A = this chain, B = another copy of it.
Amino acid sequence: MVKAVILGSIALDSLETPFGKAENALGGSATYASTAASLFTDVGIIGIVGRDFPEEHVKFLESRGIDLKGMEKAEGKTLYWKGKYGFDINAPETLDIQLNVLADFKPKVPDEYKDADFLFLGNLDPSIQKSVLEQMNKRPKLVVSDTMNFYIEKDREAVLEMVKLSDIALMNDGEARQLFKTTNLIKAAREILKLDSGLAIIKKGEHGAVFLTENEFFSAPGYPLENVRDPTGAGDSFAGTLTGYLAKTGDLSPENIRRALIYASSVASFNAEGFSLEKLKTITLEDVEARFNEFKKIVQF
């Protein structure tokens, strides 16, 4: 029984960082997010791949217990992204992007997913995100969404509508400042509160994340990574963990969301330590718990 449904891209990535390179590695927001979420709960994926999508990647996702009924296989090629990280490991340069089968993607939510209580709408066009939400039999208990600068520039109103439709509309600090036209992150977070259900979470990359409600403020620190090998998918594994952990515990209290954010930061930091999904594939819940406990020491005073 699928508890958390994850919509997003499934891609083949060609990556170069100062620490190595990879050709046609498994990538995409749904891939990172569902692998992370599968550490915590039963996940179903909604996405599209082409005929070229390697069987080994299918096998890997299945090995994590991820339900692939929502993964459509279409004529054509899988989404392809080629990126390069230079001196500033946080900001990749896109060398090539070929949408391929994603260009005409009209997601169909499998019947078995339609009663799921937890839904993550990963980084895709807001109209695709909305269509998945509308296909659900009832509104899920928790809808988490993600966006990026590309969609904010393309259609700000549609992104704002998705913020409104979500319980947690994830964005990073740059996106929040851009979307709400303010340099003050706390002001931006208050704008999110006005739109959605009263929870605002802003990711800050190496500086961690902040979480606001009307009455409280939580700051999750960044994990001190000396060697970031490949930050691709950090935001997606963060979002997948957040959704997966909340699905597992079923507890949406602010206290549990704080814990969920520390789990999310833990998994995202592991992810950045390896190329593509390399590290994410090998970590266990035990590893994540150990890092969660490290976070406790990091903020202690």
Contact = CB atoms under 8 A, between A and B. Distances in A.
Interface string A220-242: 11101111100000000000000
A180 interface: no
Interface residues of A, number: 40
A190 to B, nearest CB: 7
B89 A184 contact: yes
A131 interface: no
Contact of A225 (B186, B221, B295): B186
A88 B301 contact: no
B298 A217 contact: yes
A219 interface: yes
A204 B89 CA distance: 18
Contact of A262 (B89, B190, B301): B301
20 contacts: A87-B183, A89-B183, A89-B184, A184-B225, A184-B228, A186-B224, A186-B225, A208-B219, A208-B221, A212-B224, A216-B297, A218-B298, A218-B300, A218-B301, A219-B221, A219-B222, A219-B298, A219-B299, A259-B301, A299-B301
